[in-house]
């Protein structure tokens, strides 16, 4: 049994955690600027979502390049390019300038695509799912960033000027990554991955055909199965990103919590959701990805129903008097429901990515880039829609109403897609067994 290169896996995971932390630090500083610049909910959503836009758009090109060029080299270039905007954060004084830095820092989101491709070229296919689950724990870098931000939340000047120190720290991370992570040859390594050696999750898709692994990445765009994986990942990752960015603002406005406590509650959500990714890969292998994904969706649907319910006052006309009722989810029940949603999303993220590598081992970089790019658009569009729902509806829980609708739509589309593919499989089998056909 081939041993896992644990030093490399740990170094790559920590580097990804650092890149993910950069996103969160930008959002934490943006919350302070909301009061300074008197931003509306829509403007705040646009500010927080700006890093996600550039990160989403660059993931597919990065994945294609990672199938052809050493992912380690691309990751080094990425770390170098994200250094200047970190320094600039300490000097930005306008909304437009801060938005520009956010778009620039969005390239840090590409690190997930490069990191997953890098590790799949270093480990055996049978262990790739487990390693990808471990690597996904790097999402906890956001929790570390939120924890530090909560400690200095009362020192606004220090929080806004931290970009100068983060820039130097980013260069140190680049040096450590280059030291611990050796280069790989994408083309030579990819050729050694024999598709037939990959275990197939027949519970998820019974129409697996190894001939669908074509040499041209553009064929992935017409692969309906990959679009379905993107829908799965849109909710478990895109909505997770959106909540990560929006929750501090929600706690501060809906429950009137100070910034330090709002960041602490968000930290709890991010940390728990990130740490269960390794468990998600194991459960998907043990019980099947389809079972895990549908369980995740139904659990989240139930929780989002209660999270969507706004504070309500009801007056019931009784026989002799009127009975007044006040219905509201307090901050502790709200956090408990979010905890369940975060755990479910963490399990779902690991399950989808483990399955993705089983179907597309040779073009995992391009497939991963496409799926994560589509999913990351949720992290860009949803915070803006959260702000719009708050401004138009005038209630704070409008964001969870929106998530409930998104999840319901994804589940409906996935149900009919699975039904259609099962019908096509049965039809193909019936044609193959046609006794009227000539037997040559």
User: In this predicted structure, what is the pLDDT of residue 211?
Assistant: 37
What CATH code is assigned to 6-430?
1.20.1250.20
User: In this predicted structure, what is the pLDDT of residue 65?
Assistant: 87
The answer to whether residues 215 and 356 touch, using CB atoms and an 8 Å cutoff, is no
Which residues of the chain are under the pLDDT cut of 50?
Answer: 1, 188-215, 440
The answer to whether residues 26 and 383 touch, using CB atoms and an 8 Å cutoff, is no
H helix or E strand, kind and range, residue 325: strand 322-327
Distance separating alpha carbons of residues 115 and 123, to the nearest angstrom: 13
Other beta carbons less than 10 A from residue 431's beta carbon? 9
User: In this predicted structure, what is the pLDDT of residue 218?
Assistant: 67
User: In this predicted structure, what is the pLDDT of residue 51?
Assistant: 82
pTM for the full model?
0.72
List the beta bridge partners of residue 313. Answer: 326
The answer to whether residues 103 and 231 touch, using CB atoms and an 8 Å cutoff, is no
The pLDDT tens digits of the residues spanning 76-103 come to: 999 999 999 888 887 877 888 888 888 8
Structure tokens at 91: 């000097």
Residue listed under structure tokens 């000097």: 91
User: In this predicted structure, what is the pLDDT of residue 153?
Assistant: 63
The pLDDT tens digits of the residues spanning 320-353 come to: 888 888 888 889 999 999 999 999 998 888 888 7
Domain parsing of the chain, residue ranges: 6-430
User: In this predicted structure, what is the pLDDT of residue 190?
Assistant: 44
CA atoms within 13 A on the CB side of 215: 2
CA atoms within 13 A on the CB side of 274: 24
User: In this predicted structure, what is the pLDDT of residue 201?
Assistant: 42
Identify the burial level of 182 via C-beta atoms within 10 angstroms of its C-beta, where 0-12 means exposed, 13-18 middle and 19 or more buried: exposed
């Amino acid at each position: 049994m081939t041993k896992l290169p644990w030093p490399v896996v740990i170094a790559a995971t920590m580097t990804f955690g650092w890149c993910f932390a950069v996103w969160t630090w930008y959002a934490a500083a943006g919350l302070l600027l909301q009061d300074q610049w008197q931003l509306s909910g829509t403007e705040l959503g646009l500010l927080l979502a700006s890093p996600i836009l550039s990160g989403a758009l660059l993931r597919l090109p990065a994945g294609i390049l990672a199938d052809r060029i050493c992912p380690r080299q691309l990751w080094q270039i990425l770390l170098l390019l994200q250094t200047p905007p970190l320094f600039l954060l300490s000097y930005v004084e306008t909304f437009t300038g801060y938005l520009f830095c956010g778009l620039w820092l969005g390239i840090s989101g590409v690190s997930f695509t490069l990191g997953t491709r890098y590790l799949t070229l270093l480990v055996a296919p049978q262990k790739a799912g487990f390693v990808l689950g471990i690597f996904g724990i790097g999402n906890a870098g956001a929790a570390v960033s939120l924890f530090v931000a909560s400690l200095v939340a009362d020192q606004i000047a220090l929080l806004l000027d931290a970009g100068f120190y983060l820039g130097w720290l980013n260069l140190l991370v680049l040096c450590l990554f280059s030291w611990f992570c050796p280069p790989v040859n994408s083309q030579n390594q990819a050729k050694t991955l024999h598709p037939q050696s990959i275990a197939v999750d027949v519970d998820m898709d019974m129409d697996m055909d190894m001939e669908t692994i074509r040499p041209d990445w553009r064929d992935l765009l017409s692969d309906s199965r990959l679009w379905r994986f993107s829908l799965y990942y849109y909710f478990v990752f895109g909505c997770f990103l959106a909540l990560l960015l929006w929750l501090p603002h929600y706690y501060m406005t809906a429950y009137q919590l100070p910034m330090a406590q709002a960041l602490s509650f968000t930290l709890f959500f991010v940390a728990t959701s990130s740490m269960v990714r390794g468990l998600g890969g194991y459960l998907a292998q043990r019980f099947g990805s389809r079972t895990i994904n549908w369980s995740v969706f139904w659990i989240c649907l139930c929780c989002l129903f209660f999270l969507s319910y706004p504070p309500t006052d009801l007056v019931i006309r009784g026989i002799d008097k009127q009975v007044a009722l006040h219905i509201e989810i307090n901050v502790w029940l709200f956090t408990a429901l979010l905890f369940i949603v975060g755990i479910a999303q963490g399990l779902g993220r690991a399950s989808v990515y483990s399955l993705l590598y089983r179907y597309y081992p040779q073009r995992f970089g391009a497939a991963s880039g496409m799926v994560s790019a589509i999913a990351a658009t949720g992290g860009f569009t949803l915070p803006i829609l959260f702000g719009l729902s708050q401004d138009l509806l005038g209630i704070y829980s409008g964001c969870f109403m929106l998530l409930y609708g998104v999840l319901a739509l994804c589940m409906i589309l996935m149900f009919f897609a699975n039904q259609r593919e099962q019908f096509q499989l049965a039809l193909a089998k019936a044609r193959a067994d046609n006794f009227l056909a000539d037997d040559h």
